[in-house]
Amino acid sequence: MDEITTGSLFILLTVLIVLSAYFSSSETGMMSINRYRLKHLVKEDHSGARRVHKLLLRPDRLIGLILIGNNLVNIAASAVATIIGMRLFGDIGIAIATFALTLVILVFAEVTPKTLAALYPEKISFPSSFILLPLLKIFYPLVYIINGFTNGILILFRINPASSGGDSLSREELRTVVHEAGAMIPKQHQEMLVGILDLEKVTAEDIMIPRNEIVAIDVNDDWKSIQKQLFHSQHTRVLLYRDNIDDAVGFLHMRDALKLLTKDEFSKASLLRAVREIYFTPESTPLHTLLYKFQAAKERIGLVVDEYGDIQGLVTLEDILEEIVGDFTTTILPTHSKEVNLESDGSVLVDGSANIRDLNKEMGWQFPTEGPKTLNGLIIEHFEEIPQVNLCCRIAGYPLEIIENNENMVKSVRVMPTFYQTPTDNKAENQNN
């Protein structure tokens, strides 16, 4: 070392610091790169992406190689800095060189390059792969030995180095990715994607048309009454039943009824022969499962039954699709459902039979959906009885006033104007006006 000039040592020290910065930035860039974008670029046959992907197939070897290089150059830089310090300042130069080199390495070989690599991982990792791949082949025996020791230590702690969670995303993580896409995915498309992810959480009971709202025809009625109901029906499929809706006969497609009418075979007996078999589904069936079953059975409509086999409601393919794409409408203007009426004072008059999930989506509210499915059920659960008119309460942070009721249900509720902040206990104070 005595033959090497101090100027040459400074040059060597600079080169070592640059190499340290390279290894530091390469490590951060490789670990920070977006794996999903990387896979996309690999499919697009991007050469840099293919090299980085190959290195990341065994991240333990990549990290081992980078740390070997980084430690070698840092230790060499420390030795060179010590020699320079002793030449310039004598014995105290050791301390000066230590503090000065630590500061230089932190600023120029650690923080700055790593920050740059974290901000632009592709610009750092793709060029770095040109050097890292050949280095991995050259130092492979050393990397293999070091990884053998480290993997052995991990096994002692019952950690399998070969097992990893991979790059797969959970449903909640995927939902976060969709929301964080920002302008890259239009908001409407984001809602559709999230709607697909949420199908597993929603059951047939959540979206079904309640039993009391099903449009059906009693085949035991007189023929003129049946004809009148058919001619005025607004649905393409109508349920036929005998006396009680639990004794359902089948669905009649209006197209079949029209064919019978054109053939002069329009009679009660011919209608009963034209009905189609009923598809039944349990009320707890998740929507994604129901969608698959509809597809497999070539069905578009079904009856929802409880655990006793009693009919609870009706569900259609359109209801499932609306959970994904939103409500179908014939107007481009934003409209509210028939259960919701906006008052001039800012309050909202809501029908007690309104579905809570639909209200939450339409109004941006956050009523609990784990229990009762309708606003009437939620209020009755809160009071544990049918509340009187003009009785007020607060549920989930929303002030409610009972406007109209009868003996068995709450028919109309006023939701007072308020800014929702945090859900409150459902045992909030009640008061009579």
| E-assigned strand segments in 275-387 | 280-282, 301-305, 311-316, 340-342, 348-351
Q: Which of 263, 297, 325 is the last residue in one of the domains?
A: 325
Asked if residue 14 lies in contact with residue 105, where contact means CB atoms within 8 angstroms, the answer is no
Query: 41 vs 33, 54, 118, CA distance in Å?
Result: 12, 13, 19
pTM of the entire predicted model:
0.59
Q: Which of 147-151, 165-169, 179-183, 250-254 is the most confident on average?
A: 250-254
The angle subtended at Cα 115 by Cα 113 and Cα 116, nearest 5°, is 65
Is residue 118 in some structural domain?
yes
- The pLDDT value given to residue 428: 39
Model confidence at 175, pLDDT cuts 50, 70, 90, reads: confident
Q: What is the largest CA-CA distance in the chain?
A: 118
DSSP bridge partners of 314: 209, 303
- 208: domain CATH number? 3.10.580.10
Sheet of 398-405: strand order equals: 340-342, 348-351, 410-415, 398-405, 391-395, 431-432
| 183 compared with 142, residue with greater pLDDT | 142
Give yes or no for residue 329 having a pLDDT over 80: no
Residues 131 and 232 in one domain: no
Q: Which of 122, 157, 192 is the last residue in one of the domains?
A: 157
Is residue 433 in some structural domain?
no
Residues 147 and 286 in one domain: no
Averaged over 341-349, what is the pLDDT? 85
Give yes or no for residue 167 having a pLDDT over 70: no
Residues 13 and 138 in one domain: yes
d(CA 231, CA 233): 6
Give yes or no for residue 291 having a pLDDT over 50: yes
Residue type, 28: T
Count of structural domains, the chain: 3
Residues 350 and 316 in one domain: no
Residues 133 and 20 in one domain: yes
| 146 compared with 178, residue with greater pLDDT | 146
Is residue 187 in some structural domain?
no
Owning domain of residue 224: 200-325
Give yes or no for residue 338 having a pLDDT over 80: no
- 358: domain CATH number? 3.30.465.10
Is residue 164 in some structural domain?
no
Residues 16 and 95 in one domain: yes
- The pLDDT value given to residue 25: 94
Residues 208 and 141 in one domain: no
Model confidence at 102, pLDDT cuts 50, 70, 90, reads: very high
Give yes or no for residue 161 having a pLDDT over 90: no
Give yes or no for residue 169 having a pLDDT over 80: no
Residues 245 and 352 in one domain: no
Residues 14 and 153 in one domain: yes
